[in-house]
Amino acid sequence: MKSRSYPFIAYFFLLPILQVMVFDQLDLGAQLVPHVTLLFLIFYPTDADQTFYLFAAFLYGLYLDTLHSTMGLQAAACVTAAFLRPFIITSVFGKNHGYVNIRLQQTPLLALSAYCLNIVLIHHLVYYVFGVSSWTQWLRIVQQFIFGSLFTLLFLIAIMFLLQKNKQ
Amino acid sequence: MQQLVNAIIRFRNGLVYLLLISLSILLLQRSSAYHRSLVANVSVIFSAQLSDLVNYFTRYTNLIETNKRLLKENQILLDQILFEEKLPSDTLTYSSIPLQVIRNSFMNSYNYITIRGGKNSGIKNEMGLVTAQGIVGVVQFVQTRYAQAISILNKDLKINAKLKNSSHFGSLTWPGDDPTRMKLFDVPKTAMIKVGDTIQTGGMSTIFPPNLLIGSISNFVDDPSKSFYDIEISLFQDMTNLGTVFAINHPLAEEVKSVQQSSNEK
């Protein structure tokens, strides 16, 4: 196992725990919480095997489902975001990005934000559409999708900004 | 054949995605109540202690709000005691155990409540959870220090309920949209109902004692082609804001269950 895998194994287990303990408590009402667990999907090495990444995302989603008592909901959202990530990387960073990993210090915050926005939108779209209990409440679902995505994105950008500053 | 293998290898990520997303949807849609509750049980073991740790700190910031709610609950409970003293004494004496809610979901189709208090506090399976405003759930899994209850906002749960005015019984379920409203089915049209009528627990099981508050009728449909009303209930208890709840201990729960089991076997 490559030594650079160790941080990601740690993120895999620790981010969901951090989510439950800290970020789930920042409820803006109507269970609108920032999904910072997406950092694992965002920063997973882009040159790693995509098939393995899909399985990792699925297991990560199931782990989140177990912590939140949501059977299969996070798994579906995470695996969809993971599947579409190569297309997002190509569209945001260009075709030449290839096998270069996304690094906090070397990537401009604006490009990182655009990349995060796409991942967040896909994840939240699946999360709220699959989690819908009744379509009579479609307006509320749309509102949750929009505000939930913005809330998550805001947190992700803030975390990345702080980490960038810290590393500099 | 070689071409087929090549195609599979080439599109393996797409195929893996289809497989995993199908599996997720299968888990999401087709999982039985048993499987969902199994996951909920694992969730208690893993995340209840985490939530409890956080809850320990956040409780201090909510003390003013909690005090207000406790005062109100005390007042309502006192009213109930005074009211019951006027009635002939009941043959059963229910007891209650106060519990702290440490996690409560209300936005999914199948919601659960995690509470601090388990076997150590005398909590057992199928105990009803109530507040002074109304019923909130049914205990489903009990660990040593924590327990998980099915929220009344869970599509799997059906609760026996009755009209306060006429004692007609019905079945209360959550349709899965609004956390402030539930549906009451199977109330026959012989019952005279109107908007604003109070709905109480029916007391036909050992989970909830009879005459506990649930909500009031906010709307109802009188469909001539059906012999039962379709009633919408507005809940008295705000299910999005739960602090302290009480687990109801039925004094003869075990006896009643054994009688029901033996009659079922016959």
Among residues A125, A120, A70, the alpha carbon closest in space to that of B24 is found at A70
- pLDDT value of position A163: 83
SS3 B10: helix
Chain A interface, best mutation among B9, B17, B110, B241, by max A CB count within 10 A? B17
Q: How far is B258 from chain A (nearest CA, A)?
A: 32
Measured between alpha carbons, how far is A91 from A88 in angstroms, rounded to an integer? 5
> In the predicted model, what is the mean pLDDT of chain A?
84
- pLDDT value of position A167: 66
DSSP state string for B63-107: HHHHHHHHHHHHHHHHHHHHHHTTSPPPS---EEEEEEEEEE--S
Interchain pair A79, B21: CB under 8 A = yes
Paired tokens of B228: 């039962």
Domain count along chain A: 1
- pLDDT value of position A97: 63
CB < 8 Å to B26, chain A: 72
Among chain B residues, CA nearest to A83: B17
Domain that holds residue A111: 5-167
Among residues B234, B168, B236, B157, the alpha carbon closest in space to that of B202 is found at B168
Measured between alpha carbons, how far is B252 from A105 in angstroms, rounded to an integer? 66
Among chain B residues, CA nearest to A22: B54
**pLDDT digit string, tens, across residues A20-74:** 888 887 776 666 888 999 999 998 888 888 899 999 999 999 999 888 877 788 9
- pLDDT value of position B247: 87
Report the b/e string of B11-44 with b at 16+ CB within 10 A.
eebeebbeebbebbeebbeebeeeebbebbbebb
Cβ–Cβ pairs < 8 A, chains A and B = 108
Interchain pair B25, A130: CB under 8 A = yes
Residue A78 pLDDT greater than 90, yes or no: yes
Interchain pair A58, B23: CB under 8 A = yes
CB < 8 Å to B32, chain A: none
CB < 8 Å from B in window 21-60 of A: 21-22, 24-25, 30-31, 50-51, 54-55, 58
B195 close to A (CB below 8 A): no
What pTM, to 2 d.p., does this model score? 0.69
CB < 8 Å from A in window 199-238 of B: none
- pLDDT value of position B86: 43
Interchain pair A73, B28: CB under 8 A = yes
Cβ partners under 8 Å of residue A28, min gap 6: A147, A151
- pLDDT value of position B124: 87
**Residue B228, phi then psi, degrees to nearest 5:** -125, 150
- pLDDT value of position B85: 46
* Closest CB to B39 among A30, A50, A69: A69
A75 close to B (CB below 8 A): yes
Interchain pair B178, A17: CB under 8 A = no
- Partnered with residue B160 across adjacent β-strands are B171
Tokens 């604006």 belong to residue: A110
Interchain pair B107, A51: CB under 8 A = no
CB < 8 Å to A51, chain B: 12-13, 16
Report chain A's C-alpha Rg in angstroms.
16
Residues (pLDDT < 50) of chain B are: 85-89
